């Protein structure tokens, strides 16, 4: 049978239609989800762009929001107390913050683990001793680690901000599962985490009004720093490299003109 006629055989057409049907089934959930997604609200972040830098006041407010609200469920496993010096806390303040936590240490001379006040060299302890305990306390859901959450989610800081501010009443006719909360920006719109923020749930030391958008913005900035603490240094180095390349290009162009001038 000629190649062009082989494709027209009933057996081949049967396989083609089966493949098309399978593709439709597999892609249907993706297409429905894409049509159902709402664009993330875009925020103005001080750290964006080539010349972006962290706002230390916002980072400190964000740490306060994390400490007083988010840390009840979410750990920051890759953050140490000593790192807080990078967001403007002095040595005594870092020591005081660390001492406000109880850290498991040991074993002691009797082979027992014990609790002691935290030190700057300690990692920030999480709310649960292990993942199993975290699931047991949250109806089977595991609160994700926050130290890399901004890097781990498409949309980065805009996604985290959107989730924190996206809680609403479910639309009429939308079937909610038991124990779930409606969030317009979460995939499927059903999230196990209840709304974590409410107006004035913290009191900022600098007098900034603690509205939900403000707290969401500040804690997102803090979590962005936790995920990428060397961003300021990277931007400074990048600027110096760009300036060097511009100067080098000028020098090379002048040298080229001088070397080839006699020929022209």
pLDDT of residue 15: 52
Contact criterion met (CB below 8 Å) for 120 and 94: yes
Mean pLDDT of 178-197: 93
- State yes or no: pLDDT of 22 exceeds 80: no
Count the Cβ atoms, other than its own, within 10 Å of residue 190: 16
pLDDT band, residue 159 (cuts 50/70/90): very high
Angle ∠(167,181,214) on CA atoms, nearest 5? 25
Q: Which of 263, 150, 165 is CA-nearest to residue 215? A: 165
For the segment 64-79, what is each residue's pLDDT rounded down to a tens digit?
Answer: 999 999 999 999 999 9
Most confidently modeled range among 14-23, 39-48, 153-162, 233-242: 153-162
Which is more confident, 3 or 188? 188
Is pLDDT at 14 greater than 60 in this prediction?
A: no
CA 82 vs. chain centroid, Å, equals 21
Per DSSP, the residues of 26-56 read HHHHHHHHHHH--PPPPPP-TT-STT----H
The average pLDDT across 124-142 equals: 91
Average pLDDT over residues 93-97: 97
So where are the chain's domains?
55-72+143-229, 230-264
Check residue 30 and give its pLDDT: 42
Decide: helix, strand or coil at residue 248. Answer: helix
Fold held by 55-72+143-229: Cytochrome Bc1 Complex; Chain D, domain 2 (1.10.760)
pLDDT of 52 strictly over 70: yes
């Amino acid at each position: 049978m000629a190649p062009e006629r082989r494709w027209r055989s009933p057996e081949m057409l049967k396989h083609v239609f089966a493949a098309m049907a399978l593709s439709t089934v597999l892609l249907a959930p993706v297409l429905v989800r894409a049509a159902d997604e709402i664009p993330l609200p875009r925020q103005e972040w001080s750290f964006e762009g080539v010349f972006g830098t962290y706002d230390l006041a916002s980072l400190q407010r964000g740490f306060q929001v994390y400490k007083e609200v988010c840390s009840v469920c979410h750990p920051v496993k890759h953050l140490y107390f000593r790192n807080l010096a990078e967001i403007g806390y002095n040595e005594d303040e870092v020591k005081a913050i660390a001492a406000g936590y109880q850290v498991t240490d040991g074993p002691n001379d009797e082979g027992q683990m014990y609790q002691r006040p935290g030190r700057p060299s300690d990692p920030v302890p999480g709310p649960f001793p292990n993942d199993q305990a975290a699931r047991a306390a949250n109806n089977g859901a595991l609160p994700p680690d926050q130290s890399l959450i901004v890097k781990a989610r498409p949309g980065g800081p805009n996604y985290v901000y959107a989730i924190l501010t996206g809680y609403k009443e479910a639309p009429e006719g939308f079937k909610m599962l038991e124990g779930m909360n409606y969030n317009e920006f979460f995939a499927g719109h059903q999230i196990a985490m209840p709304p974590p923020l409410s107006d004035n749930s913290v009191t900022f030391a600098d007098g900034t009004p603690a509205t939900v958008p403000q707290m969401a913005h500040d804690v997102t900035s803090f979590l962005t720093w936790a995920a990428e603490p060397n961003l300021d240094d990277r931007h400074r180095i990048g600027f110096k490299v760009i300036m060097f390349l511009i100067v080098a290009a000028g020098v090379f162009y002048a040298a080229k003109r001088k070397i080839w001038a006699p020929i022209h």
